[in-house]
Amino acid sequence: MTAENRLREQICLLARSLFERGLTHGSSGNISARTPDGGLLVSPTGSCFGRLDPARLSRFDAELRHVGGDRPTKEMPLHTAFYDTRRAAGAVVHLHSCHSVALSMLPDVDPDNFLPPLTPYAVMQLGKVRLLPIFRPGDPAMGKAVRGLAGKRSAVMLANHGPVVAGKDVEAACNAIEELEATARLALLTRGLNPRMLDAAQVRDLVTTFNVEWDE
């Protein structure tokens, strides 16, 4: 099996796992990953994470020309914005996960640091998550908003829509977006209960120890 075929299988395996655990639903969400030759494999438009076919993934060459597979997701501007601004990005995942979407609707979340510092793991895997405004699905303005961050964030939350995370590879991106959803769920479960959070010194220790990107 070639490296690209292994990647195709991995994308579909991880997407199905996300779907089967209710982290996205129906035909929502999209996923992409860099191929060994610098191109992209992308989930097709209107496809279901639970039923992706490795052979039908959209294939782009290194110049981002669509050269094979089904028509790609309409969120391509969002994906390419991460690849163009984050040189280390090897994959991008976008979900419509319920708890993070619910948290994005609440009036008092911090747009610059969407997730409260409840556990070390969101800090370590995501850094700060930027909450972006509401956009029409497929609106190229989403990509422009990500480009406006100049590569300083690996994760954003689209208000009333869903999270988007870039990682060094497809497994890392999926792990990180799962951590985002789990932290959002914790935030909702503990809302109004005055939970004990990580303090600034503890966050700084994590940032330093694990070399986390953390723009001030």
CA 32 to CA 179: how far, in whole Å? 19
Q: Which of 4, 75, 178, 179 is catalytic?
A: 75
121: annotated active-site residue: yes
Task: Decide: helix, strand or coil at residue 120.
Answer: helix
179: annotated active-site residue: no
CA 63 to CA 35: how far, in whole Å? 12
Q: Please name which of 162, 198, 147, 126 lies closest in space to residue 28, comparing C-alpha atoms.
A: 162
Q: Which of 4, 83, 121, 178 is catalytic?
A: 121
R_g of the chain computed on alpha carbons: 17
Q: Which amino acid is at 190?
A: T
Please say whether the beta carbons of 34 and 40 come within 8 A.
Answer: yes
CA 130 to chain centre: 12
What count of other Cβ atoms lies within 10 Å of the Cβ of residue 210? 12
What count of other Cβ atoms lies within 10 Å of the Cβ of residue 204? 14
What count of other Cβ atoms lies within 10 Å of the Cβ of residue 32? 30
- Residues annotated as part of the active site: 75, 121
